[in-house]
Structure 1
Amino acid sequence: MHPRPTMADVAAAAGVSTMSVSYTYNQPTRVSDATRTRVLAAAERLGYTGPHTGARSLRSGKTNNVGVVLSEKLTYSFENPQARAFLTGIAEACLDTDSGLVLLPNGGRSQPNSPAKADLERIRGAQVDGYVLWTTVSDDPMLDVVIGTGKPVCIQGGPVVPGAAMIGIDDSAAALAVGQVGLRQSTKPAVISFPRNRDRVVEIVHGPDPADATFPVTAARLAGFRRAVVDAGFKWESTPVAFAGSNASPEGADAARRIVGADALLCCSDDLALGALDVVGPLDGCDGVAITGWDDSDAARAAGLTTVAQSLFDQGCDAARWVLGSLDRIPESPWSVQVRSSTRPARPH
């Protein structure tokens, strides 16, 4: 087996210095066209494919990789449309910056000898220049791990922790806005929520304290929904909140079956809302159950679902660019309420 040709071999064959070969591959504007042509021709003859990326990383301290940490099973990134949009944005940023993307699962459990312990070690040892995190619980041990590396960290949706940046919208304000639309002409509101914490207990709780949720997105959206409910003249402590075990349509359907008598369902996601819609059916004018969702997915638009629109693609792109150093600051993420046929019209003045 012939040894892999080296940069020095190419330099000798081309009749140039080793530095000229290095510049040809790493800083091509620093060599003449003639030198670059000789170097590449010699490299082709010798079967030299360029500098070894591992060695180059050791010299520069950069890997040109961004680590993406999920708080769900790895398959979630392919199954969930919102996670797919976020990851697509990250991939776009990696393409623009000639960087790689490393997916790192984080099962969320922390018992000794569990898969999560292996996940944490995998995350800590990942050869990446920084981390982009999908939203997680505020007590996730993974947060200490990534921040402890000293590398840039950006979290979609929170939590807000020292040593990390956050990207996302004002979930509480958006929940209030969409809640006000969803509660038009309602007499008995209810909420279908994301899980409260890592235990993901499926239950109905009347008037839960949003601050008890360790998923920050859950806490913020519940706070906004609570204000919408109270502003509409209802008592939050009498309002049923169905906590789902995951963000999936079957969970929304199951929650809708367990909530009795509600005529308005404020849902934390389009998937949960679409599952509920399958159970209660579409609104007929002002009759039936009004439903709101979140994220303005293709399926939500097709179903006529009133929802909160945000671009998770743009958030993923901006998060990765910031981590990789091509953005100086994280821009504000816009949102809007898209009003459609799943909610009642406003009363005429």
Structure 2
Amino acid sequence: MPTPARRRPTVKDVAEQAGVAPMTVSYTFNRPARVAEGTRARVLEVAARLGYRPDSTARALRSGRANQLGVVVGEHLSYLFDDPQAAQFLAGITDVCVSEDLGVVLIPTRGDASDVDRVLTAAVDGYVLWTTVADDPVLAAVASSGRPAAIQGGPAHPGLACVGPDDRAAAAAVAGATPLAGATPVIISFPLDRRRTSGVLRGRDLPADLMDPRAVPFPVTGARLAGYRDALTEAGHHWDDVRIAVVERNQRDLGADAAARLLATLADSGPVVVLAMSDELALGARGAMGRTQRAVTLTGWDGSREATASGVWSVAASLRDQGRACARAALSGDLDGQPAPWTVVAPGGQPAPDR
């Protein structure tokens, strides 16, 4: 015969055994300063003996606060743990939540009609959004929810704090640190839009205004492409002819595949500069480029030790710090997002010399 489930102790049970009113038990847990020290100790002792814990849902309803921060991710949730930089971003958010005694709720979006309801019905006090596309309906929904929110990398949206580096300037700087004038430049790019279509393009195949969110909905991709174009044009290259491999996701194996496809399009055997939008993509490309006799210069993004130790030029813009900044903005309601600092890092991990 199955053992009957044990009844959960209630406020009334604690009050009866402690010899106090139910309101005194409630004050002990929610407003302890209003209860005499001796009475509070007696109530806590009885509660511990009975196994009583306050109902967090009821407490949230009374206070109007969930004591949780929502993290909205337009990726599979495993991405936050599989991608090294996304994991750093999440770690920065949790740094703040631990110090503020808050929980974290991970909210995935899929780009369908259910996204807005899933985000708005989450029991959270504010939101941090991972970078998304300019036409994502979640942006307007969160901005009008009455709860403070911040977004990493953009797109900028009224009512949201935007935290991130100047991607265009940083992309131009890291590209300009390489020997562009005597080499063939190729680019390994993040997705252009939410369809995540992969393939090899030329500069002429892209919109003229790469910063226009209607043309390139992912603002980080558009800004970095614009920065690469700035540097390449200054070095005398014709943007229309530059080869660009677009990958679906930020994965090392996709960087290797993209590099192999780009190599297959090059007719001569001269030096190559590979401008990759992340260190993961650059490290993947390094493996593919290692099988060629060409002189190869690689750039990435994130300033990881593995990349710079492997000879990759990179942009260091700490995503952990950006996670902290987003969490603080979402908790404070401060909408004045601050640009994230960045620097170009040379192979070996030292700041790049001025050119």
Q: What TM-score results when the alignment is normalised by the length of structure 2? A: 0.86
Moved more, 160-169 or 258-267: 258-267
Partner of 1:176: 172
Partner of 2:274: 265
Q: CA deviation at 1:90?
A: 1.3
> Does the 8 A contact of 2:181 with 2:236 survive in 1?
no
Please give the residue correspondences for 1:110-259 in structure 2 after superposition, counting only pairs within 5 Å.
Answer: 110=112, 117-207=113-203, 208-209=206-207, 210-211=210-211, 212-259=215-262
Q: Structure 1 residues 341 and 312, CA, compared in 2 at 3 Å: closer, same or farther? A: closer
> Does the 8 A contact of 2:161 with 2:334 survive in 1?
no
1:274 aligns with 2:283: yes
> Does the 8 A contact of 2:149 with 2:333 survive in 1?
no
1:319 aligns with 2:326: yes
Q: CA deviation at 1:38?
A: 1.4
Amino acid at match of 1:279: A
Q: CA deviation at 1:145?
A: 3.0
Q: CA deviation at 1:78?
A: 1.6
> Does the 8 A contact of 1:104 with 1:119 survive in 2?
no
Q: How many residue pairs align between the two structures?
A: 336
1:310 aligns with 2:313: no
Residue-by-residue CA offset, 1:47-87 (whole Å, 9 max, x unaligned): 322x2111111111110111111111122112111111111
Which of the residues 40, 44, 58 maps onto 1:40? 44
Partner of 2:85: 82
Residue-by-residue CA offset, 1:134-186 (whole Å, 9 max, x unaligned): 11111122223323422212111000111211111111111111111124553
1:52 aligns with 2:59: no
Q: CA deviation at 1:334?
A: 1.3
> Does the 8 A contact of 1:184 with 1:346 survive in 2?
no
1:335 aligns with 2:339: no
Amino acid at match of 1:5: P
Identity of aligned residues (%): 46
Task: Measure, in 1, the Cα distance between the counterparts of 2:322 and 2:159.
Answer: 19
Q: Structure 1 residues 105 and 224, CA, compared in 2 at 3 Å: closer, same or farther? A: same
Task: Measure, in 1, the Cα distance between the counterparts of 2:128 and 2:313.
Answer: 30
Q: Structure 1 residues 282 and 264, CA, compared in 2 at 3 Å: closer, same or farther? A: farther
Q: CA deviation at 1:327?
A: 6.8
Q: CA RMSD in A?
A: 2.7
Q: What TM-score results when the alignment is normalised by the length of structure 1? A: 0.87
Partner of 1:13: 17
> Does the 8 A contact of 1:191 with 1:242 survive in 2?
yes
Structure 2 stretches lacking a partner, 5+ long = none
Partner of 2:307: 300
Task: Measure, in 1, the Cα distance between the counterparts of 2:291 and 2:88.
Answer: 27
Moved more, 317-326 or 219-228: 317-326
> Does the 8 A contact of 1:67 with 1:103 survive in 2?
yes
Moved more, 15-24 or 287-296: 15-24
Instruction: Give secondary structure in 1 for the equivalent of 2:151.
Output: strand
Task: Measure, in 2, the Cα distance between the counterparts of 1:16 and 1:237.
Answer: 80
Q: Structure 1 residues 328 and 157, CA, compared in 2 at 3 Å: closer, same or farther? A: closer
Moved more, 231-240 or 17-26: 17-26
Task: Measure, in 2, the Cα distance between the counterparts of 1:25 and 1:328.
Answer: 34
Amino acid at match of 2:343: S
Instruction: Give secondary structure in 1 for the equivalent of 2:177.
Output: helix
> Does the 8 A contact of 2:159 with 2:335 survive in 1?
no
